[in-house]
Chains A and B, each alone.
Chain A
Amino acid sequence: MLFVIVPAYNEEKNIGRVLSGLFSQGLENIIVVDDGSNDNTAEVAKSAGAVVLKHEVNRGQGASLQTGNEYALAGGASYVVHFDADGQFNPADIVEALAVMKDKNIDILLGSRFLDNRSQIPWTKKHIVLPIARLINRFLTGLKLTDVHNGFRILSRPALQKINISQDRMAHNSEIIRQIKEKNLSYLEYPVEVTYNEYGQGVGGGLKIILEILQGRLTK
């Protein structure tokens, strides 16, 4: 059984479109984790037909994904997709990616916007921000990837059982990559399309992530 987890914080404007895109792919078990939104994200998601898990207070994307993971595990998921709520991803990528993953018997699939040329990445992001992020991640996680901050991923049940996201905010991405290496999970990067509605996290966001990673290393 496939679960799609969509962490959402104040996404009432985008979530409806994202969910109908997912349903139109014939996907079921779509779980929206409403991360303490101040707007109508939960209501919009519910009326679109998703299961809504509600964080009473905002805990961050990492925390939301872990909540979704635990729900999916308890619900008997064999695969879990992580999918952003802001409409950046193309829902058509899920079915294809899943087929490849099953075919090759891979534990975890990571989306990459660099493996084909569908994604129109802003120049500064493509040539400055993301290459630096890549280097830092390689240094901190020891895994060589083309796209280190892509929220699109598919976890098999074994990966779901082994990976535990303790980084509540944005550093969960690097944390997952580190755990792939530590727990010897087989992984595959797969081309996905990323559409830029907004710039996303700038350099300041990147620095914050590094701080979160380092802080996470110091505390248990």
Chain B
Amino acid sequence: MMVIQILLTVFFLFALVKVIARFRVGDLAKGGLVLWSLFWVAAAVVVLLPNSTAYFAKLVGIGRGADLVVYVSLAAIFFIIFKLMMKVESLNKDITKLTRKMALGEKKDNI
């Protein structure tokens, strides 16, 4: 077993513990718990059994399983960044709306 496999597996376990902790304090719904747990477990499986992705890699025409994992991860990460940016933008707009409402609400009686 390579060192990187151990390190990554430990990290994924840590992530899994965090997911469970978040679920316990109520920040994460049951669906989120299941999804994220599956994700980290799957990540650990891929790391511990690198050849498990080879089948899918061949299926889409990529030589190595590790390459497939990198490509898919990058695409997913960029999509998530995009989604987060949109979310931040819409939160910003909401905060402005609230701030404005408060500023105008306080003065309503004076108009």
Q: Is A210 an interface residue (CB 8 A)?
A: no
Q: Which of A54, A74, A166, A219 interacts with B106 by CB under 8 Å?
A: A54
Q: Is B62 an interface residue (CB 8 A)?
A: no
Per-residue contact bits, chain A 87-123, to B (CB 8 Å; 1 contact, 0 not): 0000000000000000000000000000000000000
Tally of chain B residues near chain A (CB < 8 A) = 16
Q: Is B8 an interface residue (CB 8 A)?
A: no
The interface stretch among B19-27, B32-40, B68-76, B88-96 is B88-96
Determine if B99 and A55 form an interchain contact, defined as CB atoms under 8 angstroms apart. yes
Give the docked Cα–Cα distance between A63 and B35 (Å): 39
Q: Is B77 an interface residue (CB 8 A)?
A: no
Q: Take A53-B103, A63-B99, A219-B86 as given contacts and tell me if A75 and B111 are in contact as well, using a CB distance cutoff of 8 Å.
A: yes
> Which A residues between 17 and 75 are near B, CB-CB below 8 angstroms?
33, 36, 51, 53-57, 59, 63, 66-67, 70-71, 74-75
Q: Is A189 an interface residue (CB 8 A)?
A: no
Interfacial chain A residues near B104, Cβ < 8 Å: 53, 67, 70-71, 74
Interfacial chain A residues near B96, Cβ < 8 Å: 59, 63, 168
Q: List residues of chain A with CB under 8 Å of any chain B CB.
A: 33, 36, 51, 53-57, 59, 63, 66-67, 70-71, 74-75, 166, 168, 215, 219
Query: Can you show 9 pairs from A to B with CB atoms below 8 A apart?
Result: A53-B106, A55-B100, A56-B103, A57-B99, A63-B96, A63-B99, A63-B100, A70-B104, A168-B96
Q: List residues of chain B with CB under 8 Å of any chain A CB.
A: 86, 89-90, 92-93, 95-96, 99-100, 102-104, 106-107, 110-111
